[in-house]
Amino acid sequence: EPEVTQTPSHQVTQMGQEVILRCVPISNHLYFYWYRQILGQKVEFLVSFYNNEISEKSEIFDDQFSVERPDGSNFTLKIRSTKLEDSAMYFCASSDRTPIGSPLHFGNGTRLTVT
Amino acid sequence: AQSVTQLGSHVSVSEGALVLLRCNYSSSVPPYLFWYVQYPNQGLQLLLKYTSAATLVKGINGFEAEFKKSETSFHLTKPSAHMSDAAEYFCAVSEDGNKLVFGAGTILRVKS
């Protein structure tokens, strides 16, 4: 069964550094998402992406965050200048949304630690 | 606004016993509802989904959930727990089939 893959599985970075989290969504999916889970807290929506543009974003997704689909397969989340509070597990997801209500398929996540 | 409440952050059952994980939701429109499971060091795997067809939804690994509009509930059940069911379970709601709002999760422990 096709799956969403994320790299790296763990990323440690220093505060103020830029990080790029990478995801390869399922190949025929058109809708892409990033969620995050801070340790001990709920899984939170960050951003959704369709047709090469952001379709919705949460309050968390401020100017420090950006997403990109640089080619036909990758979907990336960039954090421009990391803060301690960005430490979390970041999940990428994709969906074909056909029919509406089709589930999101999640990757195994990237654990980001900001020191 | 949508929200999900999962009663019980930890649930412990004996192997072979009934599993009941509770989920109540709030939504201003007929919702899409999902249960996801997360095994250690893995991503979120879909267990089952409700999308306004049958109110009793069967999922993978013997799990099922019943949508009860009057109670705004979508509880997850399994008649007989197996050791391999030990994991964290997340209930999620969506109003547009796009953005998911998750509950806080319930960690299921299965005792031998």
Give the residue ranges of chain A where pLDDT is below 70.
1-2, 98-100
Which of A56, A101, A107 is facing B43, going by the closest CB pair?
Answer: A107
Residues A102 and A109: beta-carbon distance below 8 Å: no
Contact B76, B47 (CB under 8 A): yes
Would you state the pLDDT for residue B102? 95
Question: Which pLDDT score is estimated for A63?
Answer: 95
A6: which 2 tokens? 């994320």
Which residue in A47, A35, A46, A49 sits closest to A89, CA to CA? A35
Contact B42, B49 (CB under 8 A): no
Per-residue model confidence (pLDDT) at position B2: 85
Q: How far apart are CA B80 and CA B84, in angstroms?
A: 11
pLDDT in tens, B50-104: 987 788 999 999 999 999 999 999 999 999 999 999 999 999 999 877 789 999 9
Q: Residue A31's pLDDT is what?
A: 92
Give the model confidence (pLDDT) of B4-39 as tens digits: 999 999 999 999 999 999 999 998 888 899 999 999
Question: What pLDDT score was predicted for residue B89?
Answer: 97
CB B76 within 8 A of CB B19: yes
What average pLDDT is seen over chain B? 93
Nearest by CB to residue B98, choosing from A6, A43, A48, is A48
DSSP A30-57: -EEEEEEE-TTS-EEEEEEEETTEEEEE
**pLDDT score recorded for residue B111:** 96
* CA-to-CA dists, residue A64 to A21, A38, A89, angstroms: 14, 17, 17
Residue A109 and residue B43: Cβ atoms within 8 Å? yes
Task: Quote the CA–CA distance of B77 and B64 in Å, as a whole number.
Answer: 5
Please list, in sequence order, all residues whose beta carbon lies within 8 angstroms of the beta carbon of residue A41, skipping any fewer than 6 positions away.
B104
